[in-house]
Each structure stands twice: as structure tokens, then as C-alpha cells.
Amino acid sequence: MNEKEEINLTTEREKKSLTKVIGDSIKELKDTTKAFINAPAALWGVNLPYILEGLVYFGILTILGKFSSENVNLTDIEAGFVYSFLTGGITFAMLLLGGVSDKIGVRKSLALSLTIMLAGRILISLAGSLSLANGLWSPMFLMMISGIVFMVFAYGLYQPAAYAGVKRYTTPQTAAMGYAAIYGLMNLGAFLSGFVSSITRQGYEETFPPNGLAAVFWVYVIINIIAVLLTVILLSKKNDREAVRKARAAVGKESTAEDEEESYKQNKAKVNNIPLFIYSVITIIFFLLSGFAFDSSINFYIDTGIINIDFFFTLSLVSLCLAIYEYLRKRPEHPFRDARFSYFIFILIPVQTLFAHNWLTIPYYLDRAFAGSLVGEYFEVFSNLNPILIFILAPLVAGLTAKADVYKMMIIGTTVMALPTFLLAIGPNMYLFLLYILLMTTGEAMWQPRFLQWIAEVAPKGMTGLYMGVGQFPWFLTKVITGLYSGWFLTQYIPLGIPPEKMNSEMLWFIYGLIAVISPIGLILTRRWMMKGFKVRSEE
């Protein structure tokens, strides 16, 4: 066979594969969807409460800024700090508590975390209902923060346990759909929260002045109670064991329901954590003495001519670095010791800022830049269009791309997600905003569920919760950092109290777009280095 014939044969094969790809993808989607629908009761015991939790969590995020500004009487910058504490604290809690679900089991972790979250949400509801004095460090503020603290620790246990449950109860055939579905179901709940919030807020403005938001919080308390009951009923010991047995049988393995817990004990080597504890305490003390906390009288600033350096905050960063070094030094198998794994999760921070802006910026943007319009009046609904699209697109994209290369999907997905941000730089326009949401969400559906699946599947046996927690650490940094600067951008470009025509939302979104595109560019530039062993590890 000559070279020309080889080229023609290769072309014919490529054409044949192209004509079959759509049919094969649809068949794959049908098969995985059918298998997922027939999933065991234990998996639905994870999924159904996850819908309700998505409704409550994202519903609170959507109105927390408005509640902080109008009820608690905080500035936009102070409200941004509250968001950073909540969202960043949750992800940091995942880093600390991710391994707990591996130790005590999925069932106990989910029921316990939802119960603790219920206590936190009751406190937040009371903060808006008891006519307390408002303002920074006021009784209302402290009660709200107390509720948020409960939520932070509970959610740090909840999400790693939920993803560990998906891994525990799915088979190789249903795994991709399982991860995509739980991600989509959470977003379905988030979308529904927009209607729950808008209807409740407008119907109870007089009963719960000044804006009816306290009534919304109480509705979320009731929904949280339902989630707890569903978890206890559907995720019984019997259902758990039966689901594990079926999942193991699908891959020809025999196991007991206690395998994961036993594996955790085997992997858990004894480590002297006293130095780590000391460094951590020192970090907290230095931070509390800094200007970012209480700004004590013994604190001082060093003027460099460009910026003023907070002395105790700088010391807290140094001690934090020492704590991290001490933590990793004695844990040679920790995922952060893997350079590729670490780069892969950290390079996603820029594009992940767009997730954070879904609650840090978009509700303010719609409420202020579209003031007086339908969009502004129902800003909760329009703020949560992304979740309903994710609910539709995530399983669909997962089914169509189940066999696609993970890294390639990451590049394409982050690119599709980042570039539409520049549409908003043209100016406030409902159609451009809807187009942005559609395109950005499509990109999100392409890479985010696959990223979560990859983390769960590269985790050693019995360490899924730990890996899920560690994999979320950059997300912690994203939410903290974005929350710290988003309030400043709001006051500069779309401040409260001025007409929409005098705002400059165009520059705000242009800058956010420049930040987001760093991720796909970084993935493209390091593709050759990342692919050395990347695919092999993903298949282990």
C-alpha cells in the first residue's frame, strides 16, 4: 500500500467515525441515563436532599448581600467580607473535615451535617426577626455570624460526604452520570430558590420589615428539616448495604459496607501534630491582632512608600506558611505533594471567580444596573438562571462526552466559560446578559463535573473525602479573594443609590473577563507537561 492509499484509508476511517459519533453519543447518553434512573435508594438518599440543600444554600447566597446591606446595615465592602467568611470558610472546612466522612461513614456524615446546618439557619432567621440593633458587631450581626459559623462547619462535612456517597453507590457505567447529576441537581435547587425567594419576599414585606427577607430564611429552615428527614429515611443501613453490594457486584468485587471505613484506618498513619497545632494557634493569634480582624492597639503598619504593610497580618501569613509546610512535610502521600495535581487545581482559580460572582456581583448588578425593570424587580430569578441551565446541560454534556479526554474538555470548557464575560462589558442589556449566562453555563457544564469526577477517581481507596476536600482548597482561595475585592468593585462601578445610567458596569465586567481567561491560557501553555502521566493517573 502506497502513501496515498494510506492517507485515503485513514480519511475514510475518520469520516466513518465522524458519522457515527453523534449516534454513539446519544446511545451512551440513553444507556447511562437509564442506569442512573434505576439507581439504588441509597443514591437517591444522597440526591434528593442535595436538591433541597442546593435550594437553601444558593437561596441564602442570593439574598445574603441584600440582607447584610439593608437589614444588618453593613457597607458593600463589609458584606463582601461576610460572603468571604461564609463561602471561603465552607471550602476551608472541607479541607479540614473532608476525611471525616471517610472515618464515620457517608450516612452519619450527611445526617449530622444537615442537622448542624439547620441550627445555623435558625439563628440567621432569628437575627432578621427579633428587632435587634443592627450595624457591624451589633447583636443582629453577631447572631447572623453565629449562624454562618454553624453552616460553615456543617457544609465542610456535607459536600465531601455527598460526593463520597456518589462514588460508593455508583458503578463504572453510572459514575459519570452520577457525578454530573448531583452537580446538576444542586443547581436545580438553586434555580428554584429564585422563585421561592421572590414570592416569599414580596408577600411578607409588611410582616417581616423592611423587605421580607427574614420570611425567606424561615422558609429555608422548613426545607432544611425536610432534607434531614429524607436523608434519615432513604439512607438507612439496609439501603446503604444493598447499594454497596450492587455496586461491587457490577465490577465483580465482594465487600462489606465497612470496607471504606477499614481502608481509612489502614491509610491513617500516626503523625505528631503538636508543631502543626502550635503554628495554627500562632497564626490565629497574629490574625486577630491584625487590622483585618480587631486591629489591636499593639498593631502597627510599615510604610513602604507604595503600600502600608500590616505587621501582625504579615506575621500571620508567615506562620500560616510554616503550618502548611509542617502539615505536608509529614504526609508524603498528601495530594499537594503532587506538582501536576496541585497545578491543575490551582490554575482553575481565575475562571472559578465567575462562579463566585454569581452571588457576589450578579445579584447587585441586576438589582442596581437594571433598576426599575422586570430584571431588577425579580433579580433573584434572573440571578439563578445559571443553575437551571446546569441542571439541563450537565447530564446531557456528561452523556455526550463520557469518553472524551478530560484535559481537552477542561481547556474547551474553561475557554467557553471565560470568553462570554466580555459580552457584559458592552453594557447592561437583558439579551446580552441572557446570552452570557447561556454560554458561560455551557462551558461550566463541560468541565466542572468532569473535574470533580477526576478528583474522586484518582483518590486512593478510603480517601475520597480527603481528596475532595483538598481538591476544593483553591475554591476556598477563590471565594475568599473574590469576596475581598468584589465589594470595592461594586462601590467603584455600580454603587448603591445612583442612577443606572451613571454606573460603569462595563469596566467591571471587562476586568473580570481578563481575570477569567487566565485559566484556559494556563491550561494550554502547560498541556505537554500536564499530559505526562495525566491520562495514566486518571485511569488508575
DSSP 114-161: HHHHHHHHHHHHHHTTS----STTSHHHHHHHHHHHHHHHHHHHHHHH
Sign of CA dihedral 238, 239, 242, 247: negative
* φ/ψ of residue 187, rounded to 5: -75, -30
Instruction: For residue 439, tell me if it sits in a domain.
Output: yes
Residues 196 and 310 in one domain: no
pLDDT tens-digit series, residues 149-204: 999 989 888 988 888 888 788 776 667 667 767 777 777 888 888 889 988 988 89
Residues 476 and 516 in one domain: yes
Q: Nearest to residue 167, comparing CAs of 178, 158, 155, 156?
A: 178
Instruction: For residue 387, tell me if it sits in a domain.
Output: yes
Residues 289 and 420 in one domain: no
How many CA within 13 A on the CB side of residue 474? 20
* φ/ψ of residue 194, rounded to 5: -60, -40
Q: Could you give the percent of the chain with pLDDT greater than 90?
A: 26
Task: Give the span between the Cα atoms of 227 and 41, in whole angstroms.
Answer: 15
Taking only Cα atoms into account, the Rg of the chain, rounded to an integer number of angstroms, comes to: 24
Q: Of the candidates 290, 315, 330, which is a domain's last residue?
A: 330
The residues near 448 (Cβ < 8 Å, ≥ 6 apart) are: 183, 394, 413
> How far apart, in Å, do the first and last CA atoms of the chain sit?
38
Query: Residues 472, 95: contact at Cβ < 8 Å?
Result: yes
Residues 265 and 147 in one domain: yes
What pLDDT was estimated at residue 536? 42
pLDDT tens-digit series, residues 453-495: 667 666 666 666 667 767 777 777 787 788 778 888 998 999 8
Q: Of the candidates 310, 330, 350, which is a domain's last residue?
A: 330
Average per-residue pLDDT for the chain = 80
Residue 254: is its pLDDT beyond 80? no
Q: Where do the H-state alpha helices sit in 339-400? A: 339-346, 349-360, 362-369, 374-377, 379-383, 385-400
Question: Running DSSP on this structure, what letter comes out for residue 99?
Answer: T
- Angle made by CA atoms 151, 349, 124, in degrees to the nearest 5: 15
Residues 349 and 311 in one domain: no
Instruction: For residue 29, tell me if it sits in a domain.
Output: yes
Instruction: For residue 423, tell me if it sits in a domain.
Output: yes
Residues 262 and 304 in one domain: no
Residues 36 and 157 in one domain: yes
The residue-averaged pLDDT of 33-42 equals: 67
The residue with greater pLDDT, 292 or 291, is 291
**Which CATH number does the domain housing residue 358 bear?**
1.20.1250.20
Domain count, the chain: 2
Residues 403 and 420 in one domain: yes
Q: 498 in the Ramachandran plot: left (φ > 0), alpha (ψ -120 to 50) or beta?
A: beta
Residues 498 and 398 in one domain: yes
Instruction: State pTM to two decimals.
Output: 0.66
3-state secondary structure of 305: coil
Residues 473 and 458 in one domain: yes
Instruction: For residue 532, tell me if it sits in a domain.
Output: yes
Instruction: For residue 1, tell me if it sits in a domain.
Output: no
Instruction: For residue 10, tell me if it sits in a domain.
Output: no
Residues 90 and 135 in one domain: yes
Give the residues across from 310 on adjacent strands: 301
What pLDDT was estimated at residue 386? 83
What pLDDT was estimated at residue 539? 43
Grid cell of 233 as nine digits:
429515611
pLDDT tens-digit series, residues 349-399: 999 999 888 888 998 899 889 988 888 788 888 888 887 887 778 777 766
Give the residues across from 301 on adjacent strands: 310
Q: Of the candidates 330, 345, 373, which is a domain's last residue?
A: 330
pLDDT tens-digit series, residues 438-459: 999 999 888 887 776 667 666 6
Domain interval for residue 319: 272-330
CB atoms within 10 A of CB 517: 18
Instruction: For residue 446, tell me if it sits in a domain.
Output: yes
Residues 73 and 85 in one domain: yes
